[in-house]
Structure 1
Amino acid sequence: MEAELHLAEIPYDTGELRFRYTRMLSDDGTRWIRHGLFCEYHRNGTVISEGHYEHGRENGLWRDFHETGAPAAEGHYRDGVETDDWRYWDAAGKQVVRA
């Protein structure tokens, strides 16, 4: 049986949207577990980070962005752990090599 998903929207203290994600109630009904699309936003409304959760752990492609909307990072997670090579960009759009 598929879990029932609920949309959560969490604001900054000043009212702008900070997080939007789907979640499900744990089997014992005691806590919420992130499951599905996740987005975090800058105060100006542009996306900071987006990706997917599966049963509370990051999975699949994740992307991070500068406040201008330009890409900042891109890579994959598997069961909450970074995998593969991640790519990074500075605010000017130049790819940055990280050790």
Structure 2
Amino acid sequence: MSDLNIAMIPYQSGATRFEYSRYLSQDGTKWVRHGLFRAFHENGALASEGNYENGVENGLWRDFHENGQVAAEGNYLYGIEKGKWKYWDESGA
């Protein structure tokens, strides 16, 4: 694996939309997500957080409503949803 670097992808407004670590594939043709991934609502609130391992989701992932309440939580095992996922509305119920 090549050295990791941080990608920060903005909304048109300039606010951060995505922030994640990545490395360049061995053949140099594509970027591969690896490590912490975060997506943000345009208001700056965290929208999603989880980890990638060599380009696929792995481990605990959480999605959030714009008000900061958890919207969904579950696990991935190398790109496949595993176990029971939980979901909440904006009030936390």
TM-score, scaled to structure 2 = 0.97
Contact 2:2 2:26 in 1 (8 A): no
- Structure 1 runs of 4+ aligned residues shifted over 3 Å read none
Inter-partner Cα distance in structure 1 for 2:85 and 2:37 = 19
Inter-partner Cα distance in structure 2 for 1:3 and 1:70 = 36
CA positional deviation for 1:93: 0.7
The runs of 5 or more residues in structure 1 that have no matched partner are 95-99
Q: Secondary structure at the match of 1:4?
A: coil
Deviations 1:17-67 (A, max 9, x none): 000000001011111000000000001111000000001000000000000
Q: Percent identity?
A: 57
Q: Match for residue 34 of structure 1?
A: 33
Q: Match for residue 97 of structure 1?
A: none
CA positional deviation for 1:14: 1.2
CA positional deviation for 1:3: 3.2
Q: Secondary structure at the match of 2:34?
A: strand
Q: Does structure 1 residue 15 correspond to structure 2 residue 14?
A: yes
TM-score, scaled to structure 1 = 0.91
Q: Match for residue 45 of structure 2?
A: 46
Question: Which amino acid counterpart does residue 22 of structure 1 have in structure 2?
Answer: S
Q: Secondary structure at the match of 2:58?
A: strand
Inter-partner Cα distance in structure 2 for 1:80 and 1:64 = 16
Inter-partner Cα distance in structure 2 for 1:8 and 1:17 = 10
The runs of 5 or more residues in structure 2 that have no matched partner are none
Equivalent pairs counted in the alignment come to: 93
